[in-house]
A and B are shown apart, each in its own frame.
Chain A
Amino acid sequence: MAGSLRHFGGREALLTKLSGGLAGMNLTTAWALAPTPRAALWLARSGSRSLDEVPVEAACSGETLEFLRSIGVRKLHELRSLPREGLGPRCGAALLDDLDRALGAVPEGRVFFAPPPRFAATLELPAPVSHAEGLLFAARRLLVQLEGLLAARQAGIHRFRFSLGDQHLEIGLGSAAREAERLSRLLREKLAALTLEQPVETIGLEAGDFVPMPGRTAGMFGDRLAEAEDWACLLERLEMRLGRGAVHGLAIYPDHRPELAWRRVEPGEWEPREFVQPGPRPLWLLEDPRRLGEDEVKLLAGPERIEAGWWDGDDARRDYFIAKWNVSMAWIYREAGQWYLHGFFA
């Protein structure tokens, strides 16, 4: 506090200001001045004039307090006169540490006020904007502020909310990020797809749920982490423009029905399943099997019977063959007397 006394106009002025402010918030206060924060705390708690006169109740509690009472120690000066070597093992190191902190022998580690992990800012535009893309320039100013806050907190975000007038855009990210550049790229894709109902005069940006994200020097070539981040950015950009679901990964799934033996998954997601199909499978699968005439194909090998699904009502009873269809190596099946093309051995 000593360092800011001149700024506040001296000790008395600061105290007046402080008690005035606290009274305005309807708080009852007890205060004290001391060379160390802990001494001030104890003095304020007990209302004593000097540290020696502080009752032990202000300095400790629980078992330690019980013990001190039982040996007849009532004030701090009595406690201080006891030998340290004996006190430590009997009432714990915590009390001695606290005492040292109060006396200034050991520095006090303080927890400083931290702003809540959240960002919200609005910006009045100098003139109404009617093209969504025109908002990007202004939005960038907010995104840079956000990046500053995130960088200071070594944090990143998974989503943010951009408001333009009454409309809101929720923008999600594939992986945590804080770079204004990346966020604005995402926003640009979103804005490009947006038509404004009326001109916008105010924009706002909100983000919460910060996640820890250590700072890293970017751009080392061949850096796996940079590659992974680049990949996440790429997938986001593709999804923004092509729509959700336009980008997916593939996984195998243990089912004998060919159309159910795979799954769409998030790219990079991986199903640790080992399932080997009993016969050859084609690299191309037709999502909608195509009806074939019997004379269209020349059978080469088969059949492999696939009979499954009677338990879930989606049953298949098919005989699969490898066949020549025109010049293609085809995977075809016969079900209920009808032939179908289901894939190509490409």
Chain B
Amino acid sequence: MAVLDTLLQRHSVWRGAAFAQPANVIASGHAALDAELPGGGWPSGALTEILGNFRGVGELQILMPALAALSQAGKRIVWLAPPHLPYAPALAAAGIDLAHLAVVRAPGRRDALWAAEQVLRGAGCRALLAWLHRATYAELQRLAAAAEAGGAFVVLFRPREAERQPSPACLRLALEPAAGDLAIHILKRRGPPASAPLRLALDHPAHALGRTSFSAPAGRQPRMHRSVGLPVHP
């Protein structure tokens, strides 16, 4: 027993009932989410998977505070094979320093995987967001090894169906819209299994439009504290 205790105290063995204590995490900027993530933030040097089939449900918003902090600290961020154009004015408004951002187009599956590995192997890039539709376990494992070597924060966006496929990612989340909020199912983490999905309140863009809002939930402050000159009503 004494041997077992010393082993456990050295943190070299992770027990399912407790959160693992990863060496490097990046605060997600959402307190409720941080509380559910081992170490209190997004893991770096490992793969994080975000599964979901919907666009425009908050899938980028949950990453924005972390990405803003990284870019403002001079860390470079690569967006690999994004499904649409990451829109510069919105990124800048979210606090991203655009000088530290690069978008990489890789139309082919193999090209995208190759590019992801190249990005992760080097020391130049500290965060990678990659949209991978299909990837085998072996390919993901290769990326996981590269991420571990490079130490970057890696998010792989994959379709919801990938849930059924085993993955070497240390964190897997599935996103679903839930009545204006975002429901986050924590499918896998280095810690006790999460019982209920986490509800995250999103920044509603309509708040910025203030007075002409059709459905403004009461009690929330607009995100932008400027009056909006809106000349025309329908």
Contact = CB atoms under 8 A, between A and B. Distances in A.
Interface string B187-219: 000000000000000000111110011111000
B104 A242 contact: yes
Q: How large is the interface on A (under 10, 10 to 19, 20 to 34, 35 or more residues)?
A: 35 or more
B101 A328 contact: no
Interface in A289-326: 299-305, 319, 322, 325-326
Contacts of B205: 280, 282, 301, 322, 329, 331, 345
Interface string B220-234: 000110001111111
A247 interface: yes
B54 interface: yes
A343 interface: yes
Interface stretch (A37-45, A46-54, A69-77, A248-256): A248-256
A247 B86 CA distance: 13
A247 B224 contact: no
A244 B90 CA distance: 26
Contacts of A300: 206, 213-215
A268 interface: yes
A173 to B, nearest CB: 15
A329 B206 CA distance: 10
A113 B93 CA distance: 57
A interface, over-half SS: mixed
Interface string A201-243: 0000000000000000000010010111111111101100110
A85 B153 CA distance: 73
B212 A262 contact: no
Contacts, number: 197
A224 B111 CA distance: 28
Contact of B209 (A224, A268, A280): A280
B35 interface: no
A244 to B, nearest CB: 11
Contact of A283 (B60, B106, B208): B60
Interface residues of B, number: 62
B88 A283 contact: no
A228 B106 CA distance: 23
A247 B80 CA distance: 9
B30 interface: no
Q: Which of A231, A250, A261, A282 has the most CB of B within 10 A?
A: A250
Contacts of B102: 235, 247-249, 267-268
B86 A284 contact: yes
A233 B111 contact: no
Contacts of A226: 123
Interface stretch (B4-12, B19-27, B114-122, B135-143): B114-122
Given A280-B208, A284-B60, A344-B84, A250 B124 contact: no
A278 interface: yes
Contacts of A229: 124
Interface in B76-120: 76, 82-94, 98-106, 111, 114-115, 118-119
12 contacts: A230-B124, A247-B105, A249-B103, A250-B86, A252-B98, A258-B89, A280-B205, A301-B213, A303-B212, A304-B230, A327-B177, A344-B56
Closest A-B pairs by Cβ, 8 of them? A344-B56, A231-B124, A328-B56, A301-B206, A270-B99, A230-B124, A262-B88, A280-B208
